[in-house]
């Protein structure tokens, strides 16, 4: 397997108002292989969305990617790209879909315009051909009567349909990597399954790599090849999905599993992890999970955890 995307020691920082900088993403490394799915799992506020935005250099101002970070896409140094070269990566080679399909589509343009816009931005293509390709994409993501739907405006579509449209838009540039940032969080459970199915099918038929960002371990199983668990701006554990599910080693990962309701097995209370992720800038020294960790010991205060990752 060839490594498609390699992120090494990624730091994203924001000024905290007192002259210092806080680092919501603090030394993240992982790599993504061609045609595979990597799941990035963690609670709200752990830095996973910011990590994905950083890959496309979309960290909102005044945040910045700190020097020393490295994002390599094939043989391209993403952090060295500027202007037109950067625009050519976005959507064309790495595409992204967002959490909330209700707000991710431009309300004043119809579906067809929004899909063909991406094609016109990246390819030389006639309007008619783009229109045909857009209808095909809608068909692929499972929208009935795609020709007619090209003329629909976002407000005329349901949430699930809009997320399908978002996926079609993301696919319009024929990307090699699709970043899906909580693609199903805003949707009904039944629709969630359909959307994930669409993503799986398209990954196979288009040979894309998928970076699936989620807080839901339930949708990771059977879908991702590897899982990276993120906590407080760092990746605390990464393993092949089967290994991680069989034997989660970091207490945070164990905690995440304890928080997922099970349909089979003996009835037991859920054991959620107490508290929330502390905000960036107030992360504890040593092991960042120690304030919420069930098996904390003295060394946690001073030393980072030693885990085989």
Partner 1 sequence: MALGAIVLFGLLAPLALPDPAAQPDLAEGVLQPPSVSAPFGTDELSRDVLARVAAGTRVSLAVAGLAVALSASVGALIGVVAGYRGGIVDALLMRFVDGALAIPRLFLLLLILAAWERMPLAAFVVVIGMTGWFGASRLVRAEVLRLRDADFVRAAEALGAGSGRVMFRHLLPNTFGPLLVAATLAVGDVILLEAGLSFLGLGVRPPTPSWGGMILDGRGVLTVAPWVSIFPGLAIIATVLSVNLLGDALRDAADPRSA
Residues near partner 1 (CB under 8 A): 53, 56, 58, 60-61, 84, 87-92, 95-100, 103-109, 117-118, 121-122, 166, 169-170, 172-173
Quick one: residue 277, left, alpha or beta (phi over 0 = left, psi -120 to 50 = alpha)? beta
> How many Å apart are CA 292 and CA 255, to the nearest integer?
10
> How many Å apart are CA 198 and CA 214, to the nearest integer?
16
By C-beta, is 161 or 170 nearer to partner 1?
170
Contact 32, 38 (CB under 8 A): yes
Residue where the block lists tokens 């969080």: 185
CB of 52 to partner 1, least distance (A): 9
By C-beta, is 49 or 253 nearer to partner 1?
49
By C-beta, is 109 or 272 nearer to partner 1?
109
Q: Cβ contacts of residue 168 below 8 Å, gap of 6+?
A: 115, 134, 137, 138, 140, 141, 143
Token pair in block for residue 280 = 């960036």
By C-beta, is 14 or 98 nearer to partner 1?
98
By C-beta, is 85 or 148 nearer to partner 1?
85
CB of 256 to partner 1, least distance (A): 26
By C-beta, is 105 or 235 nearer to partner 1?
105
By C-beta, is 172 or 244 nearer to partner 1?
172
CB of 47 to partner 1, least distance (A): 17
CB of 64 to partner 1, least distance (A): 14
CB of 102 to partner 1, least distance (A): 8
Within 74-125, strands assigned E span 76-77, 94-97
Q: Cβ contacts of residue 211 below 8 Å, gap of 6+?
A: 5, 32, 37, 38, 40, 52, 55, 177, 178, 179, 180
CB of 122 to partner 1, least distance (A): 6
CB of 90 to partner 1, least distance (A): 4
CB of 218 to partner 1, least distance (A): 24
Contact 73, 90 (CB under 8 A): no
Within the chain, strands assigned E span 3-15, 21-33, 37-41, 64-65, 70-73, 76-77, 94-97, 177-181, 209-214, 226-231, 234-240
CB of 105 to partner 1, least distance (A): 6
> How many Å apart are CA 212 and CA 225, to the nearest integer?
11
Beta bridge partners of 26: 11
By C-beta, is 79 or 296 nearer to partner 1?
79
Contact 73, 94 (CB under 8 A): yes
By C-beta, is 106 or 276 nearer to partner 1?
106
Residue-by-residue DSSP string for 34-79: TT-EEEEE--TTSSHHHHHHHHTT-PPTT-EEPTT-EEEETTEEGG
């Amino acid at each position: 397997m060839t490594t498609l995307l390699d992120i090494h020691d990624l730091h994203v920082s924001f000024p905290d108002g007192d002259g210092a900088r806080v680092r919501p993403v603090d030394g993240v490394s992982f790599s993504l292989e061609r045609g595979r799915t990597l799941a990035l799992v963690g609670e709200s506020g752990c830095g996973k969305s910011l990590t994905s935005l950083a890959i496309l250099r979309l960290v909102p101002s005044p945040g910045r990617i700190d020097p020393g970070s490295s994002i390599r896409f094939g043989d391209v140094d993403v952090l060295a790209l500027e202007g037109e070269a950067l625009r050519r990566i976005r959507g064309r080679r790495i595409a992204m879909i967002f959490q909330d399909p209700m707000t991710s589509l431009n309300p004043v343009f119809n579906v067809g315009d929004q899909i063909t816009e991406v094609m016109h931005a990246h390819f030389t293509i006639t309007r008619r051909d783009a229109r045909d390709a857009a209808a095909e994409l809608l068909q692929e993501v499972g929208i009935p009567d795609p020709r007619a739907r090209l003329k629909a405006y976002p407000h005329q579509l349901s949430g699930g349909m809009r997320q399908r449209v978002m996926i079609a838009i993301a696919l319009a540039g024929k990307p090699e990597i699709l970043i899906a940032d909580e693609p199903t969080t805003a949707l009904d459970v039944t629709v969630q399954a359909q959307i994930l199915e669409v993503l799986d099918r398209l990954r196979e038929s288009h040979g894309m790599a998928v970076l699936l960002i989620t807080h839901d371990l339930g949708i990771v199983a059977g879908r991702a090849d590897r899982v990276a668990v993120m906590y407080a701006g760092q990746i605390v554990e990464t393993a092949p999905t089967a290994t991680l599910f069989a034997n989660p080693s970091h207490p945070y990962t164990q905690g995440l599993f304890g928080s997922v309701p099970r349909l089979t097995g003996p009835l037991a209370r859920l054991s959620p992890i107490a508290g929330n992720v502390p905000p960036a800038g107030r992360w504890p020294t040593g092991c960042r999970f120690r304030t919420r960790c069930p098996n904390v010991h003295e060394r946690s205060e001073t030393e980072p955890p030693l885990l085989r990752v």
